[in-house]
Amino acid sequence: MTSIVRKKNIILKKHEERRLLNGHQWIFSNEIHAANGAPKSGDIVEILRHDMKKLGVGFYNPHSLIAARFLTADDEEIDFQFFERRIRSALALREKLYPKSGTFRLVNSESDFLPGVIIDKYNEYLSIQTFSAGMDERLTLLCDVLVSVFSPRGIVERNESPLRSLEQLPQRKGILRGSVDPTIIELNSLKFRVDVLEGQKTGFYLDQRENRTLVRPYAKHATVLDCFCNEGGFGMYASHFGAKDVTCVDSSEFAIEKCKVNVMLNELQNISYHCADAFQFLSSAHQQEKRYDVIILDPPSFAKNKKTVATAVKGYKEVNAGALALLNSGGILITASCSHHISEETFLNAVQESGVKAKRKLRLLQTAGAAPDHPTLVAMPETKYLKLAVFSVE
């Protein structure tokens, strides 16, 4: 068998292959000794050790701190069949996880061995985000594969993430194939109307899929506050599981409007809405001496990069202390962080310190991560981001 000849390659500095051999998939720009064949952003390059032994192939981007992203150690073309194999393999896992559902995260970037692309499936629609120049350049090819595997009614790109600028990619959003209309997805017995073009991120937050049902044991007859509710997620499950009344808070008017639609769709009762800043809501609720049995906090990422970790920790302390001050004794705090740069330990310590500040005693009942269709690579901590903790509060 003849092996594939590639004219462009990068040679790593001595010993810089170690992380890659341990299962990490990124090569940083300062780990590269030389780039040969004038590879451009998005090109496929052979990745060679310092002694010229071949490690595999990957995407190259000279403009990014992540200068190369590993694709394969095998002697294979990076073509339609390659992407089809990887997408089918990602699909096989989701079919096991959610055999009766047409909605799931189909591809979770590096942790599905497709570096720099996220694909969510909402019934007959697919929503894509590309974060690497290599994947962005192959968006048409990816769509061709997706059409051949799924025959979707529509494919959209939601490439509005500011993270794309790290690879010098512009922000874009729009329909790539077919047409799109809102679609109703069903997750754990509740329905949500998803707008793949206008909803946040790829349309909806699928990562909290199972976590939303963690409210179940605490919901019956409870007074519940769902801060950062987006389109209704946790609050709707609280109502579904028998809460006496649920207050949903989000600063996005669009999210609150969608929340109302979802509540009606499921004929849920006793839910009220506030389009407000959660920090302000918590402090005015405190002034009004309001009390809740269960509070959910699921804020957006507070730490966009390593430099903002300290400010983010302050934010977590503030918001958790604000919630703790409103909880009845024996109440439940369900609190989450989706900041990549904040470890679970740092997050739990921040919540614990909020407890000290609010003069409340906290017992950790349970922790959880993202839904299993958002797998993580243990060798690659960057693929883990969502931390959720359930505390009993005295």
Positions in the binding site for ligand SAH (CB under 6 A):
200, 205, 208, 212, 228-231, 233-234, 249-252, 255, 277-279, 298-300
Cβ burial of 29 (10 Å; 0-12, 13-18, 19+) is middle
Quick one: DSSP state of residue 381? G
Contact 174, 157 (CB under 8 A): yes
What is the closest distance, in whole angstroms, from the C-beta atom of residue 256 to ligand SAH in the complex? 9
The helix (run of H) or strand (run of E) holding residue 122 is: strand 117-122
Three-state secondary structure string covering 285-324: HHHCCCCEEEEEECCCCCCCCHHHHHHHHHHHHHHHHHHH
SS3 99: coil
Contact 222, 238 (CB under 8 A): yes
What is the closest distance, in whole angstroms, from the C-beta atom of residue 326 to ligand SAH in the complex? 15
Backbone phi and psi for residue 362, each to the nearest 5 degrees, phi listed first: -115, 135
Q: Is 338 a catalytic residue?
A: yes
What is the closest distance, in whole angstroms, from the C-beta atom of residue 115 to ligand SAH in the complex? 25
What is the closest distance, in whole angstroms, from the C-beta atom of residue 335 to ligand SAH in the complex? 11
Tokens of 211: 């976590």
Nearer to ligand SAH, 79 or 277 (CB): 277
Catalytic option among 143, 227, 248, 338: 338
Helical H segments across the chain, by residue range:
18-21, 80-97, 133-137, 139-150, 216-219, 233-240, 253-265, 278-287, 309-324, 344-357
Nearer to ligand SAH, 115 or 199 (CB): 199
Nearer to ligand SAH, 234 or 316 (CB): 234
Nearer to ligand SAH, 86 or 212 (CB): 212
What is the closest distance, in whole angstroms, from the C-beta atom of residue 280 to ligand SAH in the complex? 8
Task: Name the residue with tokens 């952003």.
Answer: 41
Nearer to ligand SAH, 143 or 259 (CB): 259
Q: Indicate which residues carry an active-site annotation.
A: 338
